[in-house]
Chains A and B, each alone.
Chain A
Amino acid sequence: EAQVTQNPRYLITVTGKKLTVTCSQNMNHEYMSWYRQDPGLGLRQIYYSMNVEVTDKGDVPEGYKVSRKEKRNFPLILESPSPNQTSLYFCASSTAGGGPPDTQYFGPGTRLTVL
């Protein structure tokens, strides 16, 4: 089954404790992206990757890191989480082939609470 998986689905942590949210897709997609969803703000893109070892900032990259060492995986790293990073996070992937991203397939989301 074609899918995007994220782990964990729920996470409660404390300020400053490093964490990683994993994302994996089995569709051989070139393009992967991380979004955060906050009430009234919609989805805002954090980082995206056009292919292995190629990443770029989205609209809200501050406080986040990513890596793309393998085509299927795109982990989101919070080195020192703060309460303003409490949010619902989505990973997505799509074909791109060097061009614009097409239909994005979304993971189920990770609800993060930073105390």
Chain B
Amino acid sequence: SQTIHQWPATLVQPVGSPLSLECTVEGTSNPNLYWYRQAAGRGLQLLFYSVGIGQISSEVPQNLSASRPQDRQFILSSKKLLLSDSGFYLCAWSAGHKVNQPQHFGDGTRLSIL
């Protein structure tokens, strides 16, 4: 069966520090991968999605970036964190090259910027 892993579960970082959040998927190949941010008590904002290695689409301009160095690995990064980057970051995957497929989420990373 397929599983998705995100780490770390929680992270406290000072303003201006770099960020690297990692997500890996097991049990499937060529997945579509997604990064979302969820503000407290709010909905899901799509940040990036990827349909293949090295292919990244950005939905919202910001100081975050994403990379997909391997088929089942998705990384969210920042060179300099802002206070507004605080939130709950979720990685998700769906079956690639298929329509009407559900997205499956990891358990997220709670990021607090001090």
Pairing of A with B: no
Which A residues contact B (CB, under 8 angstroms)?
Answer: none
